[in-house]
Structure 1
Amino acid sequence: MTDPLFDDPPASYRLEWHGPLAELILARPTRHNAFDAALMQGLLDCLHELVHHPSRPHALILRAEGKHFCAGADLDWMRSLAHADFEQNREDARLLARLMQTLDELPFPTLALVQGAAYGGALGLVCACDIAIAADNARFCLSEVSLGLVPAVISPYVVRAMGMRQARRYMLSAEPFDAITACHLNVAHLMTTPAELLTEGRRQALRLCRNGPQAMKETKRLLAELDAHGGRHHEEHTVETIARVRVGLEAQEGMQAFFDKRPPSWRPRFKDEA
């Protein structure tokens, strides 16, 4: 179902709600969901709205209509950038950077569902999500160098996912790889059939929705701190985090519900629960 805060969204994407689960859908199938400045700005605005939504989602699925998740940059947009000056190119790059960072830092878990092509910047979107599920027909490629470009903006997220050694290979070779390889590279966590992709994605997302939303937010924040500063010298930070969370209302209710053998009050009601 659509949300009144998102009246008349651009045709290039749409937002759906399924209880506590939100789904942000790329909707340019005739363009293979390739992105341009308008789509990136729209997605960024939508993510900002979700963060400040009065009923913030417990989890977000990022998926796409049609045969392909996203073929990367729109060709017409790329052609226009080829004739743009340095300042214009920097502003467009900054827009993509903000989109990646916002997606990465959302205070709720995110799950990407990938079918068909996920090329260039699209691979960055996938790696910026917390969980990725690939259909067995998914194909991934860091194709930038084949065009004389550099996968600069997406590189922090891709390197974090696949590691520096593998990033050197795939960023320099621009060779495509399949869903099985994506799982081996930690770009994707699970693989399924195209027909089961959405079902499996929603199953995984609803599993996330059963968890404490504040606990998941704090976990993402903790992991980001560890990722940014390494595993050492974090004793005080980790001790402070768990102590602060334990005395919070969400954890108190969660632990009491466990002892009472009942669902916690903050968990959404699901059809399979009495």
Structure 2
Amino acid sequence: MNDTVLWKVDGRGVATVTLNRPAVNNAYNGDMIAGLHAAMDALAQEPTLRVVVVTGNGKHFQAGADLAWINTVAKQTPRENDEVSRLTAEAIRRLDTCPVPTVALIQGGCFGGGTGIAAACDIVVASEDAIFSISETRWGLMAGIILPQLCRAMGVRQVRRYALTGERFGAADARRIGFVHEVCPADALRGTGDKIVDAILMNAPAATTATKLRTLASADAFVDDGEMRDLIQEHARTRQLAEATEGLASFKEKRKPAWYPG
């Protein structure tokens, strides 16, 4: 266990999973990925689990990948890069296919992998100050392992804009395009989430699980093993290309990347 992901389950069977690297805006690294797997392993053993609420400690929900960590991973062997991408992709898939309803509460920045976490949840509530961005291409990377969830959450037309531009968009636009279900004042985020959780708890547990899983199956929303393998390999290889090296260097040096004209 590590403290980058915290979890607890209350007497109603409502779990809260909290991303806990507030000093770096909850940017994910190897420890956080391991923490997500540990949380899901633990919750899978909870016989009374009814709902999972995903939150982020601090000012921001989740600011994407820790780019210093990505730079370190990129210098490792192809096999080691495949393993990092596999663990990351499996964490998203496990959240996506969690048999109980999942609710994400988003405040502040939700970038890169953070949008993947949100897309993998059944219900998303955002505070009015929330800002979203599918930002990987800015750094010479790609959002490959979360693109299936993003396409199903906001639609391929919107992904074709926001994943190709890396633009930031606010909570109101996120709701307009269907990525977010509810927008509320920052001080009402938890309360709004509690109302949704209470609505879920009124429903029969087994029927709720069956409805969720049948909905995913009917929408062809499960990522099969073959597609998963391709996503992992492409994600890992992109991290080791020259564009990623330049993108990460531009981030560290606080400058525009070499591919920007002029």
| TM score, norm. by length of structure 1 | 0.78
Looking at structure 2, the residues matched to 161 and 54 of structure 1 have their Cα atoms a distance apart, in angstroms, of 29
1:19-73 per-residue CA deviation (whole Å, 9 max, x = no partner) reads 2211011111111111111111111121122122233x21110001110001111
Looking at structure 1, the residues matched to 41 and 98 of structure 2 have their Cα atoms a distance apart, in angstroms, of 9
Aligned counterpart, 1:232: none
Answer yes or no: is the 8 Å Cα contact 1:161–1:185 preserved in 2.
no
Aligned match of 1:220 in 202, 205, 212?
212
1:77-92 paired onto structure 2 within 5 Å: 77-92=69-84
Aligned counterpart, 2:9: 17
Answer yes or no: is the 8 Å Cα contact 1:131–1:188 preserved in 2.
yes
Looking at structure 1, the residues matched to 213 and 47 of structure 2 have their Cα atoms a distance apart, in angstroms, of 21
Give 1:224 deviation, angstroms.
Answer: 1.2
Aligned counterpart, 1:110: 102
The reply on whether 1:157 has 2:149 as its aligned counterpart is yes
The reply on whether 1:30 has 2:19 as its aligned counterpart is no
- Secondary structure at the residue paired with 2:132? strand
Looking at structure 1, the residues matched to 51 and 62 of structure 2 have their Cα atoms a distance apart, in angstroms, of 21
Answer yes or no: is the 8 Å Cα contact 2:127–2:183 preserved in 1.
yes
Q: Which amino acid aligns with 1:49?
A: A
Give 1:79 deviation, angstroms.
Answer: 1.8
5+ residue gaps, structure 2, are 222-262
The reply on whether 1:46 has 2:45 as its aligned counterpart is no
Give 1:209 deviation, angstroms.
Answer: 1.3
5+ residue gaps, structure 1, are 1-8, 230-274
Looking at structure 2, the residues matched to 143 and 188 of structure 1 have their Cα atoms a distance apart, in angstroms, of 18
Answer yes or no: is the 8 Å Cα contact 1:135–1:192 preserved in 2.
yes
Looking at structure 2, the residues matched to 117 and 110 of structure 1 have their Cα atoms a distance apart, in angstroms, of 20
The reply on whether 1:66 has 2:58 as its aligned counterpart is yes
- Secondary structure at the residue paired with 2:219? helix
Looking at structure 1, the residues matched to 172 and 126 of structure 2 have their Cα atoms a distance apart, in angstroms, of 9
Answer yes or no: is the 8 Å Cα contact 1:127–1:158 preserved in 2.
yes
- Secondary structure at the residue paired with 1:106? coil
Q: Which amino acid aligns with 1:148?
A: G
Answer yes or no: is the 8 Å Cα contact 1:12–1:39 preserved in 2.
yes
Looking at structure 2, the residues matched to 125 and 29 of structure 1 have their Cα atoms a distance apart, in angstroms, of 17
1:113-136 per-residue CA deviation (whole Å, 9 max, x = no partner) reads 000011001100000000000000
Aligned residues: 221
Aligned counterpart, 2:161: 169
Give 1:17 deviation, angstroms.
Answer: 2.5
Q: Which amino acid aligns with 2:34?
A: Q
Answer yes or no: is the 8 Å Cα contact 1:110–1:130 preserved in 2.
yes
Answer yes or no: is the 8 Å Cα contact 1:51–1:107 preserved in 2.
no
Identical-residue share of aligned pairs (%): 34
Answer yes or no: is the 8 Å Cα contact 2:15–2:51 preserved in 1.
yes
Looking at structure 2, the residues matched to 163 and 89 of structure 1 have their Cα atoms a distance apart, in angstroms, of 29
Q: Which amino acid aligns with 1:110?
A: T
Looking at structure 2, the residues matched to 156 and 62 of structure 1 have their Cα atoms a distance apart, in angstroms, of 20
| TM score, norm. by length of structure 2 | 0.81
The reply on whether 1:99 has 2:91 as its aligned counterpart is yes
- Secondary structure at the residue paired with 1:79? helix
- Return 199-208 or 11-20, whichever deviates more: 11-20
Task: With a CA cutoff of 8 Å and minimum separation of 6, indicate the structure with the bigger relative contact order.
Answer: 2
Looking at structure 2, the residues matched to 164 and 177 of structure 1 have their Cα atoms a distance apart, in angstroms, of 16
Looking at structure 1, the residues matched to 155 and 55 of structure 2 have their Cα atoms a distance apart, in angstroms, of 24
Q: Which amino acid aligns with 2:38?
A: D
Q: Which amino acid aligns with 2:147?
A: S
Looking at structure 2, the residues matched to 17 and 221 of structure 1 have their Cα atoms a distance apart, in angstroms, of 22
The reply on whether 1:127 has 2:119 as its aligned counterpart is yes
